Amino acid sequence: MVSNPSTIDTSSWDGTLSSRDFCLAARAFSDIWKTSNPAMPQWSWVVPSPKLPLIAPHQVEGYLLLENVILPRFSEEDHDEGSHTQKEEPSCSDQDEPIDSAILVKSCGGELHHYDFHIVYSTSYRVPVLYFRAYCSDGQPLVLDDFEKDLPANSVKAITESKWTFITQEEHPYLNRPWYTLHPCGTSEWIKLLLTAEASMAKGACAIEKYLVSWFSVVGQVIGLRLPFEMLSDNAQL
């Protein structure tokens, strides 16, 4: 239980978080997930090993990790119903890195697909960012086209058409390996709208500990991992 939780004054807030508040929100999110999802794999707060002296440390020395998740599979009919024309990947800045197809391999057929998810703080955008990788039981990684088949059709449509939820492949800031990520461009804008609406029913303030719960209620749906209703309840215990 977090005592005297910090709050966000949404009247002058820009939708971002400080690194300190991210740590607070991340630990609260992990606690409430454990209470609401005891049978699910659990989020863990990971502190990376010390960096080399010549490399500047990150503001946040830690991130949330959820491993070995098997998403519900969706039928080909589900995807046919949501079929669409592929559009050019949107871009928010010149910092976006192209996907390196050289590191990808073919699909592993009909095997179950496993997912690892990391929630990492972006010092550039000052918001949480979801990094993830998909792989077969033998560790063979999946290409984007393969793991899109695991997602509901509306998620695939959002990924390819929305400027807020498009997927890129970038170097993981702690592991120094390419992972897929939902680009953080626009996150501060939509999370501000979301939490401001919630705060309007709470005298203009919103607990920082609720930030990641609200954020993941949107981001999780994009990759097919929905929060249980208990986590979204105003009575959820932090």
In sequence order, the β-bridge partners of residue 107 are none
The C-alpha atoms of residue 110 and residue 26 are separated, in whole angstroms, by 35
Buried b (16+ CB within 10 A) or exposed e, 96-119: beebeeeeeeeebeeeebbbbbbb
> How far is CA 171 from its chain centroid?
15
CB 31 within 8 A of CB 238: yes
User: Which member of 23, 92, 108, 185 is catalytic?
Assistant: 185
| Helix, strand, or coil (residue 122) | strand
Tokens 């863990």 identify what position? 44
Catalytic, 136? Answer no
CB 166 within 8 A of CB 157: no
Give the catalytic positions in this structure.
Answer: 185
